[in-house]
Amino acid sequence: MLQITQSLRDGSTELAAGPSVQLMRSAVQIRSDRTLLSAGTERMLAEFGRASWVGRARQQPDKVRMVLDKVRTDGLLATIDSVQAKLAQPIALGYCNVGVVLDCGPEVWGFGRGDRVASNGPHAEVVSVPQNLCARIPCNVSDDQASFTVLGAIALQGVRLAQPTLGETFTVMGLGLIGILTAQILRAHGCRVFGVDPDQSKVEFARQFGVLPYPEGQIVDGVLITASTRSSEPVSKAALMCRKRGRIVLVGVTGLQLSRDDFYKKELSFQVSCSYGPGRYDPSYEDQGHDYPLPYVRWTAQRNFEAVLQLLSEGKLVVDPLISHRFPFERATEAYELLLSGKPHMGILLEYPTKPTTELLAHTINLYPPTPARQTVPSCPNVGVIGAGGYACKVLLPAFLKASANLISIASRSGLSAATAGRRFHFKKATTDIHSMLSDPRIDTIVIATRHDSHAQLVCDALTAGKHVFVEKPLAISADQLEAVRNAYTSTTVPRLLMVGFNRRFAPHVQRIKQLLASSPAAKSFIYTVNAGVIPPDHWTQDSSIGGGRILGEACHFIDLLRFLAASPIASVQTSRLAADTVTISLTFADGSIGSIHYFANGNKSFPKERLEVFASGRILLLDNFRSLRGHGWPGFKKMNLWRQDKGADAMAAAFMAAVREGKPSPIPFDELLEVTQATLQAATRS
């Protein structure tokens, strides 16, 4: 399957081959027939990617501040690694898709195989789209016309927020595709519409849709801004155009340096329109397929799609004149060159070839990297990796590559991320079929780096398949899941290693602390401060059913580290909670040692993320963000500094690979994995 991707590193676009996307439970699988380029959004992304470093910095000053904060806390080299890892991840382009339904997830209703649908799927031969972001196409609406559905919904949502009434007068600022669609929808409401655009040819072009040139000084009831610019001038001009108590709706992108005086004297209202309508960016609506009840939310994203298709069906929305160029899908990169060329264009359509369904739905592909394939090491484990997200590509895969793992196959839901990571790290295959990986007799070790809710089941499946397992933390997010893992591990007929990615205990500084504490057998006191930072409440890690919450997902690291340094079983766990992700966890150990983990999300990013203080036998050790270790009162030890922050990921992967290769016990005993996970579950549920 082919898909258009864009490099964040240089803005280039390419047709990337990958395995067919995995069909989710509440999603619809679609074979693409047409997709429409979004001139505003996709041109903006391409221009950003092709801009110089200085140009990018000017466009995203908030990101620059984040980078500078990270340099101050984590060091220059660690920051460079993070930035390079981010730039190495290509993005999928497009969100105006028309095609035919190939299959539906088990929780989908209202769609069936063979239905023609419009969706926000990307530019790809096969897409998997949430059912609430799809709509059936009426028989009298062509594929070409239906490709404007999503852009039409963006325009329609802006119009809904403007609340036009019959006979009112509006101005549309910016007469690109969305601007002209907005103008037509306003006219369908019985409004008189003026148009403004710095390109006079677009003003003339809009006349055929009933849009009048704006006469200087004309006062209107409202303004919809569909332009894309960093200037604040459109908002200022809109305020001057409006009557008293007029309405301004921002559908496009502009600067927002507003003059209070312009709005104050006229009591103007100003609102920003969000994409296609209610439900957009809501995981419950999109990913889980939960619709908003019609009596309470009349117009959702999907219902806006349906309304646009109805306008197309009735001839009240005319889009055929908006199509200026067509390209076969295999020449898609030429379409993007046109988009950036400055040459006149409006709607650019991509037309997809007819291919056998079996070819389109291949869930596993062989990878042929542009550089010579890395030679396998006969004595090293053959590894399959499940998950190709940011942490896997930035930390785990480089670590296992350094540990001489034979990387055989990598899997992800989207397929694109698996193929991208597979080529980068010289895997032989990329797949969206996890079961084929687990049943592959060549693979003896599985690395799991997926979302937290899937960890326990994948561990059980891999152990049952007779594989050694490395799983990124946490091991489980519920007691039932943990018990299932225990049963799977203890019931394997051939002993297999199970390891959780508690990398901090392998860090050079921590290993030095462990050596120093070995000379001090007395009970110890630990204070671990974690400046965790804010994560939005709707982020998947905060969802108890998916991420388990931040305490389960992240604090397990710090509980494990104190358990390792105390070298004694955890006797009790208590939690004091200010908020869901701002807590103090108090631990006592069987040998009398105590530890406090202050996991705080209410701090500031300019402060280092992690600090560990160890008090023992009249001596103190201070570990600062895995960059420096200082000793107070320790004979023969004062400090240990590293040029590069090292949290132990490389040493962890090497230890696990060595244990698998040499038939040694797991670097972390299974009983400790259970103990730390049980303690974390207690910390997450107690207050």
pLDDT digits (tens, 9 = 90+) for 333-376: 999 999 888 888 999 999 999 888 888 888 999 986 544 555 66
The CATH 3.30.360.10 domain(s) of the chain lie at 504-650+665-685
Three-state DSSP state, 687: coil
Residue ranges matching CATH 3.90.180.10 in the chain: 2-148+282-352
380 has pLDDT over 60: yes
φ, ψ for residue 213 (rounded to 5)? -60, 140
Write out the DSSP string of 608-650: -SEEEEEEETTEEEEEETTTEEEEES-TT--EEE-SS---SHH
CATH tag, 378-501: 3.40.50.720
In 3D space, the residue among 76, 565, 646, 86 whose CA is nearest the CA of residue 402 turns out to be 646
Interval 123-145: pLDDT, tens: 999 999 999 999 999 999 999 99
Q: What is the mean pLDDT of residues 677-681?
A: 97
219-261: pLDDT as tens digits: 999 999 999 888 999 999 999 999 999 999 999 988 888 888 8
pLDDT tens by residue, 101-126:
999 999 999 999 999 999 999 999 99
pLDDT band at 57 (very low <50, low <70, confident <90, very high): low
Alpha carbon distance 657, 669 (integer Å):
15
Q: Which of 55-59, 233-237, 406-410, 572-576 has the lowest mean pLDDT?
A: 55-59
Across the chain, mean pLDDT equals: 91
Q: Check pLDDT > 70 for residue 87.
A: no
pLDDT band at 170 (very low <50, low <70, confident <90, very high): very high
- Residue 71's pLDDT band (cuts 50, 70, 90): low
* Length of the chain as a residue count: 687
* pLDDT mean over 443-453: 97
CATH topology of domain 2-148+282-352: Quinone Oxidoreductase; Chain A, domain 1 (3.90.180)
Q: How confident is the model at residue 47 (pLDDT cuts 50, 70, 90)?
A: low
Q: What is the pLDDT of residue 412?
A: 95
- For residues 325 and 335, the answer to whether their CB atoms sit within 8 Å is yes
What's this model's pTM, rounded to 2 decimal places? 0.86
- pLDDT at residue 34, rounded to an integer: 97
Enter the DSSP assignment of 205.
H
Domain with CATH 3.40.50.720 in the chain: 151-272, 378-501
> Where does 151-272 sit in CATH, by number?
3.40.50.720
* Overall average pLDDT of the 194-211 stretch: 96
Model confidence over 316-337: pLDDT tens digits?
A: 999 999 999 999 999 999 999 9
Under CATH, which architecture does the 504-650+665-685 domain have?
Answer: 2-Layer Sandwich (3.30)
Supply the pLDDT for residue 340.
Answer: 84
Ordered alpha helix ranges (H), 24-176: 39-50, 53-59, 61-74, 76-87, 143-146, 149-162
